[in-house]
Chain A
Amino acid sequence: MKNIFGFIGASVSCVLLAVLSSCSNEQRYLRYALKVAGENRPQLERVLDHYRHEDKDPSKLAAAKYLIINMPGHFSYTDTATVDFYYNAALKIQQSGGTPEWQRDTLRSISDALNYSLSRAVESDIKLVTSDYLIDNIDKAFHEWRTRPWAQHLTFDEFRDWILPYKVIDYQLLDSWRDTLSARFSDSISSVPSDDDRRLSIYGAIDIVRNEIHTKNPPRVLWEERSGIPLRSAQTWANMTFGSCYDYVTMGTAVFRSLGLPSVVDRVPVWGRNSEGHSWFTFLSDQGKETPTINSLIVAAGMPFYPYERIPKVWRNTFTINRDIVRYRNTAKYVHQFDLCEHDVTDHYVRTSDIEVQLMSDIRIDDKYAYIAVFVNSGGPSWRVLDYGEVKHGKVCFRNMGRNVLYIALYYNGSVLAPASEPFILEKDGGVRYIHSEGGDGVRSIDIRRKYFESYNVVDMRRRILGGKIQCATRPDFSDSVTLYTIETTKIPDKIPVCARAPYRYWRYLSPNGSWGSVAEVLFMDSLGNPVKGCGIAVPEAGQDAIDRAYDGDMLSNFEVNQPDGNWVGLDLGTPGDVSFVRIVPRSDDNDICPGNQYELMFFDGLDWFSIGRKVADDNTLHYENVPINKLLWLRNYTRGNDERPFLLDHDGNIEWW
Chain B
Amino acid sequence: MLRDSIIAMMALFAAFSCQSKDTQLETALGSAGENRPTIEAVLKHYRTQDPVPEKFEAALFLIKNMPAHYSYMGDSIYLYYDYAQRILSNDTLTPESQRDSLLMVTKRLYSHLPERTVPDTRVISKDYLIHNIDLSYDQWKNCPWASQLTFDEYLEWLLPYKAVDLQELDYWRDTLSLCYGDGMRNPVVNDVEYNTTTGVADMIRNEVLGKINRHGLYTESGLPLLSASLLHRQTFGHIPDYALLAALSFRSMGVPVVIDETPVGARDEAATRWFVILSDRGKEVTSEWDLATQIGWSFFPYERGPKVFRQTYAIDERRLDYIKNAKYVYPFDITVKDVTDKYFLSSHVSVTIEKHNRSKLKDRYVYIASAIRSTQDHIAPSAGPEPDGWKIVDFCKLKGSKAVFRNMGREVMYIVLGYDGVALVPISDPFILKKDGTTQYVSADTVFSPYLNKWCNKPI
Contact = CB atoms under 8 A, between A and B. Distances in A.
A304 B295 contact: yes
Scoring A402, A429, A657 by chain B CB atoms within 10 A of each residue's CB, the highest score goes to A429
Interface stretch (B11-19, B188-196, B325-333, B374-382): B188-196
A382 interface: no
Contact of A302 (B192, B283, B297): B297
B297 A304 contact: yes
A198 B270 CA distance: 14
A453 B196 CA distance: 15
Scoring A201, A308, A311, A456 by chain B CB atoms within 10 A of each residue's CB, the highest score goes to A456
A350 B282 contact: yes
A286 B344 CA distance: 8
B285 A203 contact: no
B301 interface: yes
A399 B282 CA distance: 17
A152 B189 CA distance: 50
B190 A304 contact: no
A104 B199 CA distance: 39
A350 B281 contact: yes
Interface string A458-479: 1110010000000000000000
Nearest to B295: A304
Given A153-B345, A153-B435, A304-B294, A455 B281 contact: no
Given A428-B280, A455-B190, A288 B298 contact: no
Contacts of B196: 307-308
Given A204-B301, A427-B147, 18 more contacts: A152-B435, A203-B302, A286-B345, A288-B346, A303-B297, A303-B298, A304-B295, A308-B192, A308-B193, A403-B281, A403-B282, A404-B281, A428-B147, A455-B190, A455-B192, A456-B188, A456-B193, A459-B189
A212 B150 CA distance: 45
B438 to A, nearest CB: 9
B147 A456 contact: no
Interface in A436-487: 453-456, 458-460, 463
Interface in A162-193: none
B132 interface: no
Contact of A453 (B192, B198, B435): B192
Contacts of A154: 436
A201 B282 contact: no
A201 B188 CA distance: 42
Interface in B143-163: 144, 147-149
B345 A453 contact: no
B148 A349 contact: no
B148 A351 contact: yes
Interface string A387-408: 0000000000000001110000
A415 interface: no
B436 A308 contact: no
Contact of B188 (A287, A303, A304, A463): A463
A153 B437 contact: yes
Contact of B190 (A201, A285, A458): A458
B252 to A, nearest CB: 21
A292 to B, nearest CB: 11
Interface in B335-365: 341, 343-346
Interface in B250-302: 279-283, 285, 294-298, 301-302
B434 interface: yes
A197 interface: yes
Interface string A339-368: 000000000011100000000000000000
Interface of A: 152-154, 197-198, 201, 203-204, 285-288, 291, 301-305, 307-308, 311, 349-351, 402-404, 427-429, 453-456, 458-460, 463, 657
A351 B298 contact: no
Given A201-B301, A287-B343, A404 B191 contact: no
B44 interface: no
A285 B301 contact: yes
B454 interface: yes
Contacts of A303: 296-298
12 contacts: A153-B345, A203-B302, A286-B435, A287-B343, A288-B344, A403-B148, A403-B281, A429-B147, A453-B190, A454-B192, A458-B190, A459-B189
Contacts of A304: 198, 285, 294-297
A658 to B, nearest CB: 10
Contacts of A350: 281-283
Contact of A311 (B281, B294, B434): B281
Given A153-B434, A153-B437, A203-B302, A349 B281 contact: yes
B456 to A, nearest CB: 13
Contacts of B296: 303-305, 307
B124 to A, nearest CB: 30
Contacts of B435: 152-153, 286
A311 B281 CA distance: 9
B297 A201 contact: no
Given A152-B435, A308-B196, A459-B189, A302 B301 contact: yes
Contacts of A460: 188
A307 B301 contact: no
Contacts of B193: 308, 455-456
Given A204-B302, A307-B279, A287 B191 contact: no
Given A201-B301, A201-B302, A302-B301, A351 B283 contact: yes
B301 A349 contact: no
Contacts of A427: 147
A288 B407 CA distance: 13
A456 B198 CA distance: 13
Nearest to B410: A153
Contacts of A453: 190-192
Contacts of B410: 153
A454 B190 contact: yes
Scoring B149, B191, B198, B302 by chain A CB atoms within 10 A of each residue's CB, the highest score goes to B191
A303 B285 CA distance: 12
A402 B313 CA distance: 30
A198 B196 CA distance: 35
A429 B278 CA distance: 13
Contacts of B199: 308, 456
| Minimum-distance CB pairs A-B, first 5 | A351-B282, A304-B296, A302-B298, A453-B191, A153-B435
B190 A456 contact: yes
A301 B454 contact: no
Contacts of A657: 191
Contacts of B198: 304, 307-308
Contacts of A287: 301, 343-345
A427 B196 CA distance: 13
A311 B279 CA distance: 13
A596 B295 CA distance: 43
Nearest to B202: A307
A357 B114 CA distance: 57
Contacts of B283: 349-351
Contacts of A302: 297-298, 301
Contacts of B302: 197-198, 201, 203-204, 286
Contacts of A454: 190-192
B148 A456 contact: no
A107 to B, nearest CB: 36
Contact of A456 (B192, B346, B434): B192
Contacts of B188: 456, 459-460, 463
